[in-house]
Amino acid sequence: MQRKMPYTNPTATILIIDDDADIACAAQLLLRRRFGSIHTLTDPTGLTHLLKSVQPDVVLLDLNFTPGRIDGSEGLALLDMLQNQANPPAVITMTAYADVPLAVAALKRGATDFITKPWDNEHLIATIQAALTRRFAHEKSKQTTFASNHPQVAKSGLIGNSRAMNDLRAMLASVAPTSANVMILGENGVGKELVARAIHDASTRAGNTFLSVDMGALPESTLESELFGHRKGSFTGAQGERAGRFQAARGGTLFLDELGNMPLGAQAKLLTVLERREVTPLGADQPIAIDVRIVSATNLDEVSLYQPQVFRSDLLFRLNTIVIRVPPLRERNEDVPMLLEHYLHHYQQQYQRAARPVSVTTLSRLVNYPWPGNVRELRQACERAIILGNNTEYDFHDFGLPTASTNATTVTSTPADTETMSVDSVRLESLEREAINTALASAQGNISQASKALGISRPALYRKIEKHGI
């Protein structure tokens, strides 16, 4: 079995804000053995007074307090208050399974992370530790600090001096030496595989194999053979024995990219392998123990990731011990000049072209361009500029990007976004109810079997049955 992570931080101050005294007490009992000072608050109106004497490093924040309120407005108001502190804490929101869209909205307003109730203890502790790492990283404003302390992370190819990138490098330096499974979230083109390689290169497995597998490119019919291997004659065309990706990455890191494209049936097989830490090749009689660290990635948004018809919750909680969110380029546009310099130099060398400056006007437009394709789009734009540009300096048209009308595209939330969130929340409620009914029917009403199939505890299932009136 995978070794649990003994996270401890005796100097950290944690504040738990939840109107349910039982939940607050349970969290306090769990955390007081690993962190320094644990405070609870069941009446949010007392937060202003409490903050006069307590300066929390991390706040666990419920989003609804008044009975019958489910819009999260009370919790979001507290989040805004905490964000406006002189030295704001990292805020982790706590939400019910069906309220994931609300938690994602909190992330957009400055929350560091979120957990769903009922929580997995190891996942909660790991989430708090990751939040502490990010918060303490704010004190390190220069990349050279990371380079001196974490050389493998510094040379990973993660370019930028923005606060977001410094936080990311600090988090990688903290996570990489552990054996924890890591899930990397981010849009297409942000560099999720670079992050995965940085984790491997700074880990104790760095001398062994880093093997990347594009899960979306594996046909479902051959997925089991590709991942777990097969014996000769195990199926038509199996003319020899073949090791699967889990065996090939032995002792190293297996990077499961685009995991969100994996069919539900294949997800169940992957879950079994992760639980047992062994694979049985097709046609084999005996299982083979595996020794790999799993790093996964997906471009699915977190609302979709929590939909049971898209991704199994029990597999999700196996993979997301640590969640790393890679920011899109539009959220760290101060890094654009450094990225431009890097890629222009790279392609000047590749195509043997003379170095040329970027005009001031062009640089301003490139910094303010929304970069929907993220760093990948910027890299390709630099290659086009090297090939097509023929002036003494690069201008905007050399990069082959859309014109100013597209540059004006806004990426901020609108009332329509909020309406969509509400629709998604209702849809998640319906999906959760359907998943529970299906599990109960398959288990013929056996609560223990149904809760195991859903990947939640018996008490949690009872609460959800009551909630949905099943």
What residue segments make up the domains of the chain, in order of their start? 13-120, 143-234+241-327, 330-401, 415-468
Look at residue 431 in the predicted model and tell me its pLDDT.
Answer: 67
Residues 43, 26 contacting (CB under 8 angstroms): no
Question: Does the fold of domain 143-234+241-327 match that of domain 13-120?
Answer: yes
Vertex 100, ends 95 and 104: CA angle to 5°? 105
- In whole angstroms, give the CA distance from residue 49 to residue 46: 6
Identify the residue with better confidence: 466 or 400.
400
Identify the residue with better confidence: 363 or 406.
363
Q: Mean pLDDT, to the nearest integer, of 326-338?
A: 92
- In whole angstroms, give the CA distance from residue 139 to residue 165: 13
Look at residue 134 in the predicted model and tell me its pLDDT.
Answer: 72
Identify the residue with better confidence: 457 or 404.
457
Model confidence at 156, pLDDT cuts 50, 70, 90, reads: low
Sequence-ordered strand ranges (E) for 188-342: 210-214, 253-257, 278-279, 288-289, 293-298, 322-325
CA 188 to chain centre: 13
Would residue 455 be called left, alpha or beta, if left means φ above 0 and alpha means ψ between -120 and 50 degrees? left
pTM for this one?
A: 0.65
Identify the residue with better confidence: 425 or 230.
230
Look at residue 199 in the predicted model and tell me its pLDDT.
Answer: 94
CA distances from 218 to 25, 241, 280, 452 (A): 46, 19, 19, 28
Q: Provide φ and ψ at 192, rounded to 5°.
A: -65, -40
- Classified by CATH at the fold level, domain 13-120 comes out as Rossmann fold (3.40.50)
Identify the residue with better confidence: 187 or 454.
187
Q: Mean pLDDT, to the nearest integer, of 335-363?
A: 91
- In whole angstroms, give the CA distance from residue 268 to residue 266: 5
- In whole angstroms, give the CA distance from residue 5 to residue 321: 10
Look at residue 239 in the predicted model and tell me its pLDDT.
Answer: 67
Look at residue 286 in the predicted model and tell me its pLDDT.
Answer: 86
Look at residue 412 in the predicted model and tell me its pLDDT.
Answer: 46
- In whole angstroms, give the CA distance from residue 191 to residue 203: 19
Range of lowest pLDDT (159-173, 302-316, 374-388, 410-424): 410-424
- In whole angstroms, give the CA distance from residue 292 to residue 196: 14
Q: Is the pLDDT of residue 430 over 70?
A: no
- By CB atoms closer than 10 A (0-12, 13-18, 19+), residue 185 is buried
Q: Is the pLDDT of residue 174 over 60?
A: yes
Output the six-digit token pair for 111.
């929350």
Residue 271 is given by DSSP the state H
Q: Taking the CA atoms of the chain, what radius of gyration do you get in angstroms?
A: 24
Q: Provide φ and ψ at 379, rounded to 5°.
A: -60, -45
Output the six-digit token pair for 17.
């804000």
Q: Which CATH superfamily groups domain 143-234+241-327?
A: P-loop containing nucleotide triphosphate hydrolases (3.40.50.300)
Look at residue 145 in the predicted model and tell me its pLDDT.
Answer: 38
Model confidence at 184, pLDDT cuts 50, 70, 90, reads: very high
Q: Is the pLDDT of residue 114 over 70?
A: yes
Look at residue 40 in the predicted model and tell me its pLDDT.
Answer: 94
Q: Is the pLDDT of residue 376 over 50?
A: yes
Query: Within 10 A of 34 (CB to CB), how many other CB atoms are there?
Result: 17
Query: Within 10 A of 422 (CB to CB), how many other CB atoms are there?
Result: 13
Look at residue 225 in the predicted model and tell me its pLDDT.
Answer: 82
Residues 77, 110 contacting (CB under 8 angstroms): no
Q: Provide φ and ψ at 442, rounded to 5°.
A: -65, -35
- Classified by CATH at the fold level, domain 330-401 comes out as Helicase, Ruva Protein; domain 3 (1.10.8)
Look at residue 256 in the predicted model and tell me its pLDDT.
Answer: 94
Transcribe 184-199 into DSSP letters.
EE--TTS-HHHHHHHH
- In whole angstroms, give the CA distance from residue 51 to residue 81: 11
Burial state string for 371-410 with b = 16 or more CB within 10 A and e = fewer than 16: bbbbbebbbbbbbebbeebeeeebebebbebeeeeeeeee
Range of lowest pLDDT (108-122, 292-306, 351-365): 108-122
Q: What is the CATH number of domain 415-468?
A: 1.10.10
Identify the residue with better confidence: 307 or 133.
307
Each residue of 381-419: pLDDT tens digit?
A: 999 999 998 889 999 999 999 875 444 444 444 444 444
Q: Is the pLDDT of residue 68 over 80?
A: no
Transcribe 397-457 into DSSP letters.
GGGT---HHHHT---S--HHHHHHHHHHHHHHHHHHHHHHHHHHHHTTT-HHHHHHHHTS-
Of 46-60, 141-155, 415-429, 455-469, which one has max mean pLDDT? 46-60
Q: Mean pLDDT, to the nearest integer, of 359-388?
A: 93
Q: Is the pLDDT of residue 150 over 90?
A: no
Range of lowest pLDDT (39-48, 190-199, 299-308, 428-437): 428-437
Q: How many residues does the chain have?
A: 470
Q: What share of the chain is helix, strand, coil (3-state, %, to 5)?
A: 50, 15, 35
Look at residue 230 in the predicted model and tell me its pLDDT.
Answer: 78
Q: Mean pLDDT, to the nearest integer, of 292-305?
A: 90
Q: Mean pLDDT, to the nearest integer, of 205-218?
A: 86
Look at residue 82 in the predicted model and tell me its pLDDT.
Answer: 92
Q: Mean pLDDT, to the nearest integer, of 204-213?
A: 90
Average pLDDT of the chain to the nearest whole number: 82
Identify the residue with better confidence: 125 or 237.
125
Model confidence at 438, pLDDT cuts 50, 70, 90, reads: confident
| Tokens 């939909």 sit on residue | 307
Each residue of 252-285: pLDDT tens digit?
A: 999 999 888 888 888 888 999 999 999 888 888 8
Q: Mean pLDDT, to the nearest integer, of 438-467?
A: 71
Look at residue 287 in the predicted model and tell me its pLDDT.
Answer: 87
- Decide: helix, strand or coil at residue 27: helix
Residues 190, 329 contacting (CB under 8 angstroms): yes
